[in-house]
Every structure is written in C-alpha cells, then in structure tokens.
Amino acid sequence: MLLDNKKVAIIGGGPGGLTLARLLQQDGVDVKVYERDENRNVRQQGSTLDLHDDTGLKAIIKAGLLDEFKKKYRPGADKMKITNRNMEVVFSDHDEKPNEDFGNEHFRPEIDRGPLRDLLIASLKEENIVWNSKFTEMKREGEGWQIFFENGTTAYADFVIASDGANSRVRKYITDIKPIFSGVTAIEINIYNAPKNAPKLWNFVNDGKIFALEEGKTVLLSAKGDGTLSVLIGSKTEQEWISDSGIDFKNKTSVAEWFKEEFSNWNSEWQELFQSDEISIIPRPMYHFPLDQYWEPLSNLTMIGDAAHRMPPYAGEGANQALADALELHEVLMSKLFVNLKDAVAFFEKRMVARTSEITEVTLQQTEAMHDENNLQLLLDFFDENINSQF
C-alpha cells in the first residue's frame, strides 16, 4: 500500500477532511486531523446540507456511517417555497413533495452541519483528531513536511492533505493560482432560537427552505434542527464592496440600515431578520477558481474541498464535492495500480479538477441566474424543467 509506514496529516476538520480520515482509518492508515477549533463543541455556522446520491451520500455509505446518518438527518427539511419580495408564495412543494427515500437517485436527505460533524468525529479514534491546531506554515523535512501551528506545537507528516477551506493556508504550497470574484456578495446571518427571536420568519419557513428573490436580489432561508434560522442575503456588487460600503458588519444596526435601504421595496416583515441580538453576521464575497486550473502534482501533498475548488454555494455542491474528493482520494491511495504517490496524486487531481470544473461552471450559471433582474422567473423555469424531467 502506498501509505504503508507513513504518517498522514489532514489539515482541517470539515466534512471532507473528517470523511477522508474515517476512510483511511478503516484501512489502518496512521492518520491525524489537525483542526483549528479549540474543541468539538464549537458552534457550527452555515445552512443545512443536502447530500447527493452519487457524491456525498455515496461517501457516507463507503465510510460505513449510513445508519448513524439516518439517526441524525432531518426528514422533510428539503421541502421548499419560492416567494417574491412581498412574501407571496409562487411555488411550494410542502404539500406535494414526493415520498423519496434512500436508494432513490433523486433523494437528497438534509442534515445540519453540526450533527454531520458530530457523527464523523464519533467515527474516529480520539487520538486521530488534534484540536486547537491552527496551521501557520510547513517546511520540507526529508520526503515529508514539518507542520507548525499557532499554539507553538509542530507535527511531522510524510503526506499532507489540505482540507482547510476556501481561505486555505496550505494551498499556496501547491499552486499560486488565485480565486476569481464572481460578481456576487452575500451576507450570512444566523438567528439563534429563531422560534422566539424571529417567529414570523421561522413559521414561514416551516422547517424547510425559502428562496425569496426578485430584481436581482436574493434572500435564502433555511431552518436548522436546533432552532437556528440560517439566512443568505445576496446581490451583485463590486469586488471591494465590503470595505467600500461603509457598513460595519460587526454592528447589527449598521447592517439593518443597509438592508432597509437596499431592499426598500421588499415587504417590511423582512426586517424581522434584525430584530434579535442573538445573531451572527458574516459578509461573504463569492469567489471561484479558474475552470482550467492546473498545477504540477507533488508526491507528498494534495488538497480537497474548497481549498481545491472553491465556488459559490447556490448549487449546493460544496460539501458534496468535498465528500466526493475524500472518496476518490481514498480509492486512489488504496489502489495497487500506482507505483508511487506522485502518480496516484496526479491521477486523483486530474480527475478531481475535471469533475469540479464542470460543477463550477454550472454553479456560476446558476449564481448569475439567481442575481439576474429576471431571477424569479428564471428560478421558476429551472424548477419546472427539473421536476418534469424526473417523471
């Protein structure tokens, strides 16, 4: 086996990195995940994830975690409504959602990021996750790497996998290719204890998702099992909009004032987004990597997930592609078809880039459509076409 007697380090404990660690652990590989969070109890942000049959769910099954997944996923959380700016529902599948189940290629079970992370962590040996390990740099040592962390600790690994997200610090050791701004910036808001702090919107979402859009603007909402309402407010902007806008994103009132002005012709009940102080607000400019990106493969380092193929979230592919990366990299590293790690890495990266370039292209098309002046009708047409194609 290519990894016999080798130490493997995965930088970053997101879904992709943890899934890869689980797969490698099953085959007896000496693997450790180095995660920047202080412990496993750090609150997980972001919306609910839907896992796809041929990528995310396939990796969960291969990792032997389907039974645990079934205990934690949220049946019915994939139901959705599409509304205009006045909260008038123009599409809903709440009453007509088909009874899909595991084994159906169209079934996309939803799970919150926290429970997904918990089940992946629980599947690993305690010593295989090293918490409070914020990566700072790496230096070549022999045929491997000496890895340095902010807390002053170090670790040696023969083979390193960067799984440290869209703002990866490890990626630069592989390539200097920079991300490209998509033309869209989103503001991510998490409203905690939403049944109390945003009751109208919480009831409107009804434990599912809402796509509210019109005239190039979007407000996407999704309910989480812990009572959090996750919100993504998107619009077309210049690349430097966050710094040039004058908005203090650490001040809820400043963001609320911007929203009231920018979304002035939207129903006033959207203002409930800013009613509570129990919220987090994070601006997120949307970037992607070039569709034709290429780098020379290395024998001791590769990357997966957003570190390798960052893209906007509007197609729901980020986590699924990261899990697909984990599955494919594991298969390559366990294969007997390659005589050395460099050849294995080259094969994996070529296939990964081809797959995710296609997904990125589709995602960019959907991102553009979501923020087109005619976005509401374009989304309705998209769902009508895709629903009809399933029958």
Q: For residue 141, what are the contacts with CB-CB under 8 A and spacing of at least 6? A: 156
Cα 63 to Cα 210: distance, rounded to the nearest angstrom: 32
- Six token digits for residue 324: 């697909």
- Six token digits for residue 216: 């190039």
User: Annotation-wise, does 284 bind a ligand?
Assistant: no
Tell me, rounded to whole angstroms, the distance of Cα 293 from its chain centroid. Answer: 20
Backbone dihedral angles phi then psi of residue 27, each to the nearest 5 degrees:
-100, 15
Strand partners, 33: 10, 129
**In angstroms, what CA-CA distances link 142 with 1, 85, 94, 204, 312?**
20, 60, 58, 59, 38
Type of residue numbered 23: L
Backbone dihedral angles phi then psi of residue 151, each to the nearest 5 degrees:
-80, 5
User: Annotation-wise, does 207 bind a ligand?
Assistant: no
Q: What dihedral do alpha carbons 46, 51, 57, 63 form, nearest 10°?
A: 0
Cα 213 to Cα 379: distance, rounded to the nearest angstrom: 9
User: Annotation-wise, does 43 bind a ligand?
Assistant: yes
DSSP label of 170: S
Of 158, 88, 99, which Cα lies nearest the Cα of 302?
Answer: 158
Type of residue numbered 219: V
Backbone dihedral angles phi then psi of residue 64, each to the nearest 5 degrees:
75, 30
Interior CA angle at 54 toward 286 and 23, to 5°? Answer: 90
Count of CB atoms within 10 A of residue 154's CB? Answer: 12
3-state secondary structure 307-324: HHHCCCCCCCCHHHHHHH
User: Annotation-wise, does 113 bind a ligand?
Assistant: yes
Annotated binding residues for NADPH, as ranges? 43
Annotated binding residues, as ranges? 43, 50, 113, 306
Annotated binding residues for FAD, as ranges? 50, 113, 306
